[in-house]
């Protein structure tokens, strides 16, 4: 049973069909990178996986949950599926520690010293132990993004989704976030990530998927896909160098 199973998903915004029958599966412990031009539907696909967007047809199963727009079922799914956004989206009125502890407390009923210890643990995992009491405003972009990753990890998800999590960061700060993600991958986390970092996809992802015009145009083991792209579209995309 794959950790993520996407079958023939169609999604339109009004009259515009953005996903035209996408199928994809991610095995447990696998890292899959989605690459492609702007507007090809990468974010939309990722957001369909945790129900932030509702698709019109097709079937999605994540971490053993069949995707359903019923709010209660959706919450059950989301307890097992973390997502990290390009714009961090930390809660600005809460400290890093509070950002991390909130959902485990409310959604999972954790509390007390155990909760605090767990929050310190995930914060240490992203290298920010000393920032427990810092407000997001007082953190750099890279630090905020690492707190956002820690916040997701605190839910102990079975699958993590990442949508261009380094695109808003300066090159110097990109590295520190990628290192955290690489550690996660090594630790066996199942990851589905949209990225413009071709080196990261090539080196860290087991499989890379190239999306083009709302379809999966080409996919394969990352090493092969980057070494020998088959379709002219992927060849053009990779040689353009600007992603």
Partner 1 sequence: MATFGWPEMLFIFRSAGWTLLLTLVAFSIGGVVGAALAIMRLSPSRVLRAIASTYILVIQSIPVLMVLFMSYYGLSLFGIGLPPFLAASASLAIYASAYLAEIWRGSIESVPFQQWEASSSLALTRPQQYRYIILPQAVRISLPPTVGFLVQLVKNTSIVSVVGFVELSRAGTLVSNATFLPFQVFSLVAAIYFTICFPLSRLSRHLEKVMNAGRPH
- Rule CB under 8 A: which residues touch partner 1? 50, 52, 71, 75-76, 78-79, 82-83, 85, 87, 89-93, 102-103, 106-107, 135, 137, 151-152, 155
State the binding partner of 82 from Mg ion, ligand ATP, partner 1, none, CB within 5 to 8 A by kind.
Answer: partner 1
State the binding partner of 44 from partner 1, ligand ATP, Mg ion, none, CB within 5 to 8 A by kind.
Answer: ligand ATP
State the binding partner of 93 from ligand ATP, partner 1, Mg ion, none, CB within 5 to 8 A by kind.
Answer: partner 1
How far, CA to CA in Å, does 30 sit from each of 47, 103, 150, 189?
A: 19, 26, 20, 7
Q: CB of 77 within 8 A of CB of 62? A: yes
Q: Which two tokens stand for residue 124?
A: 């240490």
Q: Which two tokens stand for residue 38?
A: 């702007």
Beta carbon of residue 69, minimum distance to partner 1 (angstroms, whole number): 12
Q: Does 208 bind Mg ion (CB under 5 A)?
A: no
Beta carbon of residue 83, minimum distance to partner 1 (angstroms, whole number): 5
Q: Does 18 bind ligand ATP (CB under 6 A)?
A: yes
Beta carbon of residue 186, minimum distance to ligand ATP (angstroms, whole number): 26
Beta carbon of residue 233, minimum distance to partner 1 (angstroms, whole number): 31
Q: Which residues of 118-145 are buried (b: 16+ CB within 10 A; e: fewer)?
A: bbbebbebbebeebbebbbeebebbbbb
Helices 71-80 and 96-108: crossing angle in degrees, nearest 10, is 130
Asked whether the CA dihedral 188, 194, 195, 198 is positive or negative, the reply is: positive
Q: Which two tokens stand for residue 232?
A: 């002219």
Q: Which residues of 183-222 are buried (b: 16+ CB within 10 A; e: fewer)?
A: ebbeeebbbbbbbbbbebbbebbbbbbbbbebbbbbbbeb
Residue nearest to Mg ion (CB): 43
Name which of residues 25 to 54 contact Mg ion (CB under 5 A). 43
Beta carbon of residue 11, minimum distance to ligand ATP (angstroms, whole number): 8
- Report the SS3 class of residue 133: coil
Tallying the residues shown for the chain, one arrives at 243
State the binding partner of 85 from Mg ion, ligand ATP, partner 1, none, CB within 5 to 8 A by kind.
Answer: partner 1
Q: Does 219 bind Mg ion (CB under 5 A)?
A: no
Q: Does 41 bind ligand ATP (CB under 6 A)?
A: yes
Using CB under 6 A, list all residues that contact ligand ATP: 13, 18, 36, 38-44
Instruction: Report the interface residues with Mg ion, using CB under 5 A.
Output: 43
């Amino acid at each position: 049973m794959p950790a993520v199973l996407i079958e023939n998903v169609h999604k339109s915004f009004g009259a515009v069909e953005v996903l035209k029958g996408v199928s994809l599966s991610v095995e447990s412990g696998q890292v899959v990178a989605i690459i492609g031009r702007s507007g090809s539907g990468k974010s939309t696909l990722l957001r369909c996986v945790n129900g932030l967007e509702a698709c019109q047809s097709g079937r999605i199963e994540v971490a053993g949950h069949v995707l359903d727009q019923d709010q209660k079922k959706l919450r059950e799914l989301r307890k097992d599926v973390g997502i990290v956004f390009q714009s961090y989206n930390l809660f600005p009125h809460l400290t890093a520690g509070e950002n991390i502890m909130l959902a485990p407390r409310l959604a999972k009923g954790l509390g007390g010293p155990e909760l605090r210890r767990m929050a310190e643990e995930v914060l240490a995992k992203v290298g920010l132990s000393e920032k427990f009491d810092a407000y997001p405003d007082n953190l750099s972009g890279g630090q905020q993004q690492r707190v956002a990753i820690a916040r997701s990890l605190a839910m102990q998800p079975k699958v993590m989704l990442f949508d261009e999590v380094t695109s808003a960061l300066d090159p110097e700060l990109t590295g520190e976030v990628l290192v955290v993600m690489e550690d996660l991958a090594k630790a066996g986390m199942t990851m589905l990530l949209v990225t413009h970092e071709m080196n990261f996809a090539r080196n860290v992802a087991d499989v890379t998927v190239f999306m083009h015009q709302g379809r999966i145009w080409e996919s394969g083991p990352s090493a092969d896909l980057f070494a020998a792209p088959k379709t002219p579209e992927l060849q053009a995309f990779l040689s353009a160098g600007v992603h």
